Amino acid sequence: MWVEVAGIAEQLEAIQMRLSQDKNLTLLRRFQLFFFITVFLMTMGRGAFAENTLLRVEYFPSVVKQGDVCFIKASGLTSLKSIYGEFRGEKFPMAFGARNGTYEGLLGIDRNTPPAIYEIKIVAIDGSQSVYSSALLLKVEKVNFGTQNLSLPPSMVDLDPKTLERVNKEARRLTELFQGFRDERLWSGAFIRPVPGELTAAFGLGRIINGQHRSPHTGVDIRAEEGTPVLACNNGVVVLVDQLFFPGKSVILDHGWGIYSMYFHLSEALGGEGDRISTGAVLGRVGSTGRSTGFHLHWGVRMNGAQVNPLSLLGLTEH
């Protein structure tokens, strides 16, 4: 049995409204989007709204930008055997939410995801093997991340072969780590900010270091006094405690379901790999180790490989 989500007609209407208001779209792009919506209605519309109240899907925030995290909530069906979502051909997990009869999941939109309208599919299977599917449209908006000019000691930028080898090895280690997937969902409830303080470098900033274009900023920098306690943004397992070349003293947490948070430039890391820690537990102290120009915390989040803005996690799961 295939069932479509309620409200898809309203979503299409809202997108079409926005298209008609958006003066920056070229005629070709307008045509492409119109074509997409028409094909979508033709292919998805057949019998789609007949039993549209069974599996209801909502997402927050309502406007999604590159690098955002989306909270997906499904309700209307109980006693499901399994439920998952699909975005751009990749599956993402969902599970029982806090309230009875709701299922929830987090979807990370990588900062490099091309701005477009995407379909998110939610597939649920109940005890008698009936398959329910809901589709919803998600418009990902473009972000102008901006650029930042930095001056750093040449030894931190133009690396000698030995250091370069070390840096590449560390990068490979992190990439491998972020490809891991823990079935167990450790995160629950609201994500919190690891330290209070002013944001000194935003997520996604393009970087020109000593006049040369370098990789964009993969997290947020929060200014804080040396020694300020750094708190776990949610429940997790410590999967890395080490001194790395660029990130300095680092701690990485695995929150389950492919979600990792990282804390860089620490003066001190508390605890060790394998430790399970709860939301708000102290995992280290603010420092300025590695490639850093002052005391601050670099806080980054990866979600199934996607680079996402950690700030977009805050307050998200309270809906």
Binding site for Zn ion (CB under 5 A): 221, 298
Q: Select 123 or 222, whichever has its Cβ closest to Zn ion.
A: 222
Which 3 state secondary structure label does DSSP give 221?
strand
Q: CB-hemisphere CA count at 13 Å for 98?
A: 7
Q: Select 57 or 201, whichever has its Cβ closest to Zn ion.
A: 201
Main-chain phi, psi angles of 42, to 5 degrees: -65, -40
Q: Select 94 or 252, whichever has its Cβ closest to Zn ion.
A: 252
Shortest Cβ 286–Zn ion spacing (Å): 13
* CA–CA dist 122, 141 (Å, integer): 22
* CA–CA dist 237, 240 (Å, integer): 9
Shortest Cβ 172–Zn ion spacing (Å): 20
Q: Select 75 or 148, whichever has its Cβ closest to Zn ion.
A: 148
User: Could you tell me which of 98, 251, 99, 238 has the C-alpha nearest to residue 182?
Assistant: 238
Q: Select 111 or 298, whichever has its Cβ closest to Zn ion.
A: 298
Q: Select 4 or 221, whichever has its Cβ closest to Zn ion.
A: 221
User: Could you tell me which of 311, 107, 65, 316 has the C-alpha nearest to residue 201?
Assistant: 311
Shortest Cβ 221–Zn ion spacing (Å): 4
Shortest Cβ 265–Zn ion spacing (Å): 8
Shortest Cβ 247–Zn ion spacing (Å): 9
Residue with nearest beta carbon to Zn ion = 298
Sign of CA pseudo-dihedral 204, 208, 210, 212: positive
What does DSSP assign to residue 282?
E
* CA–CA dist 80, 83 (Å, integer): 7
Q: Select 249 or 298, whichever has its Cβ closest to Zn ion.
A: 298
In which region does residue 15 sit, left (phi positive, over 0), alpha (psi from -120 to 50) or beta (all else)? Answer: alpha
Shortest Cβ 296–Zn ion spacing (Å): 7
Shortest Cβ 114–Zn ion spacing (Å): 25
CA separation, residue 215 to residues 195, 204, 209, 247, 259 (Å):
25, 9, 10, 14, 22
Shortest Cβ 201–Zn ion spacing (Å): 5
Contact 141, 115 (CB under 8 A): yes
What does DSSP assign to residue 111?
T
Q: Select 234 or 292, whichever has its Cβ closest to Zn ion.
A: 292
